[in-house]
Chain A
Amino acid sequence: MQNVPIVELSDVAISFAGVKALAGVDFACHAGSTHAILGENGAGKSTLIKIISGVLKPDTGTIAVNGSKVGFSGPADAADAGIVCMFQELSLIPDLSVADNVSILRPPRRFGLIDRRAQIARTEELLARVRCEDVDPRAMVRDLSLSRRQMVEVAKALGRDPKVLILDEATSALTQRDVETIYGLLDELRADGVCSLFISHRMHEVEALCDRLSVFRNGQHVETFAKGERSDAEIVRLMIGRDVTAKFPPKPPIRAERAPAVRLDDLRWEDRLKGVSLTLGKGEILGIGGLDGQGQKELLLALFGVLKGTKGTVTVGDGDGLATSPHRAKTGKNRIALIPDDRKTEGLMLSLSIADNIVAAALDKVASGGVIDPGRLDAAVRDGIARLQIKAGSPAHAVRTLSGGNQQKVVLAKWLMIAPDVILMNDPTRGIDVGTKQEIFRMMRTLADEGKSILFYSSDYAELIGCADRVIVLYDGRVVSELTGEAITEEAIVAASLNLKGEVA
């Protein structure tokens, strides 16, 4: 390259609890460029920017700013060096005014006290730069809409006079007009010699804005290239790579006609589900794909009766409507079970025993008139442990003593005890070992063969391809693609996840 990179990482590695998040990463970006970072869920994008912005410290490797080595002790250090980050989660304090938030780090001072007038004048100037003159600097942040808040966040970042500006999914909650503003702003900043690092799942934005692209996969930096050097199809292939993953049980031949177990018609909830329609057949494993946070979790929760204020028609079985609470979902004519994604806080009661967890959903099955029959309870617990081959010393041990895989089996055992007709699974294999994953996939297939219907979200495309009879891909709260049989390929899923219509396949 022509000059010294403004930020350069060499051989950076970091791991969390023994799992490598980044390994041997060399990365450089230059002043006066807009640099896109692409990758699948869990590829290490967020970890990378956290290291650059001083939130995380790498286990090994060095960071250099303008050619000299630095060791940030926190985000404030990085900000002093001119590296400013806008995180995905908004960092504004709702109960402070816009002006207070914008200059929270270094408010203008007079005689040691905050100079409110100067602070407001400065905020007005910054808001004008992001074309948000309509926002009153004295307004409370809590009273602003989400898109306004995000623009205030941009103003706050600008107020720190960045040399490197990191935008992590900065446009996800913005209106079209604000997106245009950001585009213009990024052009201005580039002209001023600022380096912008841009993380987005929207390919057209990357196309429009960035001049360089870096692709990450499995914690490694795959390649960096200038815009236009690679086609969309090549970029998608770089993001996927080739990794051998778990083996899956054989799929049955495709059946065109299945009796519907669940039918959704135009399901809506707040701004997360924007009209989802789908049919889940009896004995079918229907996979849900898409990038994280496109409404998959909300879809499963809605079906389980957790969300209040859903709109649209839902038909379960012959004519039941949407359950209004998990209890109703569990005890309806067609019993529904949900395997949540966070087993530690939603799936299990960690400090209770394995036995107590296994029977938690089916207490009335081991009791008559509210009085528990110890014999039936023990038999049920033994049955659950044997059925899923849970490796545990004694059912009286606390669930927290089990490994992640066995914990997840306890969650499954709990729900199998109610003999559910429909099983909703939210990323059931997250963070568990390959052996247990295979057991779970076999279990799912067996259940489907018995006529149960499974709706299954996974952040790992390989699981959807290996396990699902049919895959739907969600993007921004809508079903953007439906794939069956041979058409379920990584290319097709990734392309649909990025909402690229037919360009890749």
Chain B
Amino acid sequence: MTTMPQIRPDDRPLLIAFGFTLVILVIGTGYTLSTTGTMPLLQPSYLMQQLQIGSFLGICAAGMMLVILTGHIDLSIPWTLTSAAMVATSVGGPWAIPAGLSVGLCVGLVNGFGVSVLRVPSMIFTLGLDTVLRGLMVARTGGFAPQDTATPAMLYLAKAKLLGVPVALFVWIAVSLVVTFLLTRTTFGRALYATGTKERAAWLSGIRTRAVVTGAFLGSALCAALAGVLLAGYSAKAYQGMGNSYLLPAIAAVVLGGTHILGGRGRYAGTFLGVVLIVLLNSILSIMQMPEAFRQIIYGAVIIGMLLIYGRGTRVSE
């Protein structure tokens, strides 16, 4: 037996993501030092601002992780987010936020029903529902923007600061704590991992796999709806297409954090780090004033590259 402290295979993706985050910070700081002689990336206020923007992505990714752990995927995030934002702003008043979240509730139940009971592949069903939601929203607004201003509560959650820290960041942390608790300390969490590992074996163990899968989609849609409500507060209004840039980064953050794309394996800390990594990567690319085309190329290449490293690691360890 060896007494050397060994890296557990579970921790590997976390360490890689953490290491890569540090590399980004060093490279970015080196760049700003050499060009302007400042180091904005290491200033708490700048980091705080970036994380405030990142919290919308973080909340989406937290929900996405639940679905990916079951071995499914939720592609309806963009318009769940947008619909929730639009419904919240048009209802207005004290019921704005509950109205937005109830959109998420409905979407999650429909997705869960379609995937677990009707057995439609999640990739198709959620994509279809995304398109339906877009149609509904366009039909409702008729291309115009009716009352679409965020309520004071939404503005507070998304933009205000508490003790010098953006409230949005607190919301993200609260969601993170809830998801971590769900995954590690509840029967639902255990059933989620079991279902994602081998649905048939889980079902034959008497786990209600349909309910578990529905629960995961419900969590994902609620998170997307919450992100939508916050984003509407941040932008002070809801607008079409506001969710479009959240789908792929959310999936990327989950997978970069070490969650197995086919389900059953992954820890929430990884997803959190994955979001931080993506946010920092984005902000560095914008500091470098990289043309949009190159940003996209680098962004994609980094994600593929990191997944290659993970893939290699698991092959060796098995």
Contact = CB atoms under 8 A, between A and B. Distances in A.
A367 B186 CA distance: 8
Contacts of A327: 206-208
Contacts of B264: 349, 351-352
Contacts, number: 75
Interface string B181-210: 000011111110110011011111111100
Residue of B204, B264, B265 with most partner-chain A CB within 10 A: B204
A346 B190 contact: no
B214 to A, nearest CB: 14
B206 A331 contact: yes
Given A349-B264, A351-B265, A356-B190, A340 B204 contact: yes
Query: Looking at chain A, what size class is its interface with the partner chain?
Result: 20 to 34
A346 B204 contact: yes
Contact of B201 (A329, A331, A345): A345
B207 A360 contact: yes
B206 A346 contact: no
A372 B201 contact: no
Nearest to A351: B197
Contacts of B189: 372
B201 A330 contact: no
B204 A363 contact: no
Given A327-B208, A352-B264, A345 B200 contact: yes
Secondary structure of the A contact surface, majority rule: mixed
A361 interface: yes
A330 B206 contact: yes
Contacts of A346: 200-201, 204
A356 B204 contact: no
Interface string A329-351: 11100000010100001111111
Contacts of A363: 187, 190-191, 207
Contact of A370 (B187, B197, B198, B207): B187
A367 B190 CA distance: 11
Contacts of A466: none
A351 B198 CA distance: 9
A238 interface: no
Contacts of A351: 197, 264-265
A360 to B, nearest CB: 4
Interface string A361-381: 101100100111010000000
Interface in A88-110: none
Nearest to A355: B190
Contacts of A361: 205-207
A356 to B, nearest CB: 7
Secondary structure of the B contact surface, majority rule: helix
Contacts of A352: 193-194, 197, 264
A109 B205 CA distance: 54
Given A326-B204, A360-B205, A367 B187 contact: yes
A28 B292 CA distance: 74
A130 B202 CA distance: 46
A346 B205 CA distance: 9
Nearest to A366: B187
Interface in A61-112: none
Given A327-B206, A338-B204, A372-B186, A360 B194 contact: yes
A372 B200 CA distance: 23
A414 interface: yes
A348 B264 CA distance: 13
Contact of A348 (B187, B188, B201): B201
A349 B187 contact: no
Residue of B187, B191, B202, B207 with most partner-chain A CB within 10 A: B187
Residue of A338, A356, A372, A418 with most partner-chain B CB within 10 A: A372
Nearest to A353: B193
Contacts of A347: 201, 204
A393 to B, nearest CB: 10
Contact of B186 (A325, A331, A349, A370): A370
Residue of B194, B200, B205, B208 with most partner-chain A CB within 10 A: B205
Interface in B292-309: none
A364 B187 contact: yes
Contacts of A372: 185-187, 189-190
Residue of A326, A347, A350 with most partner-chain B CB within 10 A: A326
Nearest to A418: B206
Contacts of B197: 349-352
Given A327-B208, A349-B264, A360-B194, A370 B200 contact: no
A488 interface: no
A367 B202 CA distance: 18
B195 to A, nearest CB: 9
A453 B202 CA distance: 24
A370 B200 CA distance: 22
A292 B113 CA distance: 37
Nearest to B199: A349
Nearest to A363: B187
A306 interface: yes
Given A327-B206, A351-B264, A352-B264, A371 B201 contact: no
B190 A360 contact: yes
20 contacts: A325-B208, A326-B206, A327-B208, A329-B206, A331-B206, A345-B200, A349-B197, A349-B201, A350-B198, A351-B197, A352-B197, A356-B193, A360-B194, A361-B206, A363-B190, A371-B187, A372-B186, A372-B187, A372-B190, A414-B205
Interface of B: 185-191, 193-194, 197-198, 200-208, 264-265
Q: Can you list the 4 inter-chain pairs with the closest CB atoms, starting with the nearest?
A: A330-B206, A349-B197, A363-B187, A361-B205
Given A326-B204, A348-B201, A351-B264, 8 more contacts: A326-B205, A338-B204, A345-B198, A356-B194, A360-B202, A361-B207, A372-B187, A372-B190
